[in-house]
Amino acid sequence: MYCVKCGAELTNGQKKCPLCETKVYHPDFITDGDSLFPHNDAPQTEYNRFGILFVISVLYLIALSVVTVCDLAVYEAITWSGYTVIALLVTYVIGVLPTWFKRPNPVIFVPCDFLAVLLMLGYISYRTNGGWFLKFACPVVFVLCLIITTVVTLNRYLRRGILYVIGGSIIAFGLSFVLLEYLIRITFYENVRFVWSFYPVTVLFLLGMMIIVVAVCKPLRRSLEKVFFLS
């Protein structure tokens, strides 16, 4: 018999290890509830999540104030700081805002993230006099938001059929390339001529259909699960 802590060899009848004085345990003996291994009595450090988030929020606020004051001090107007401020706000909405909630619902926060990105693009279009926000940015962001929000919602609330969701979302994402090229053409080239969107549409459509076929064919799905160690 050996000590469970230091491994020293023990003789029969010993109740403590002669080296580390750890209590001797024998599998045939019923213990009084003590653990087989020594307890970790080191204090566990606990972090205040809201305190950390508050500090991060204050740092964001300081950064926003500093860039704005510097811009006003040098140019006496909001020039480059506007881009920095809107970018910091977008990163806060996407990366920090959901962490304020214990269980953030992605069905709510995904559209919020797209809305923040849309506001940033609108500001850039306004400051640069681009004129592409309503014709190009809004439709593209709206379609992507619709696809991703639908996938997130179905994945969160559906118990089965995840392969159908993945396959359908890939097909929908592929079809969005047709809209993307169309909007690019009418916004920046003022003509409609499809050149490159056919290629991603074809590839993603075939990939999505392949996933749907796997979902429909149960024997094929089972065999793939075994091959890729998914079951």
Q: How far is CA 176 from CA 21, 79, 110, 145, 188, in A?
A: 71, 35, 18, 12, 18
Q: Which two tokens stand for residue 99?
A: 């962490």
| Run of H or E residues at 156 | helix 138-157
Q: Are 216 and 182 in contact (CB under 8 A)?
A: no
What pLDDT was estimated at residue 30?
Answer: 47
Written as tens digits, the pLDDT of the chain (231 aa) is 677 777 777 777 777 887 777 887 665 554 454 555 555 555 666 678 889 999 999 999 999 999 999 999 999 899 999 999 999 999 999 999 999 998 889 999 999 999 999 999 999 999 998 889 999 999 999 999 999 999 999 988 887 888 899 999 999 999 999 999 999 998 888 777 888 999 999 999 999 999 999 888 888 878 877 776 655
How many other CB atoms are found less than 10 A from the CB of residue 59? 10
d(CA 114, CA 141): 7
Q: For the chain, what's the residue count? A: 231
b/e code 119-145 from CB counts within 10 Å (16+ = b): ebbbbbbeeeeeebbebbbbbbbebeb
d(CA 142, CA 139): 5
d(CA 113, CA 110): 5
Please write the tens of the pLDDT for every residue from 119-143: 999 999 999 988 899 999 999 999 9
d(CA 147, CA 144): 5
Q: How far is CA 173 from CA 116, 129, 194, in A?
A: 21, 30, 17
Q: Are 169 and 152 in contact (CB under 8 A)?
A: no
- The DSSP 8-state label assigned to residue 16 in this structure reads B
d(CA 134, CA 28): 78
What pLDDT was estimated at residue 27?
Answer: 55
What pLDDT was estimated at residue 7?
Answer: 73
Short-list 204, 179, 207, 208, CA closest to 194: 179
Q: Which two tokens stand for residue 152?
A: 């997130």
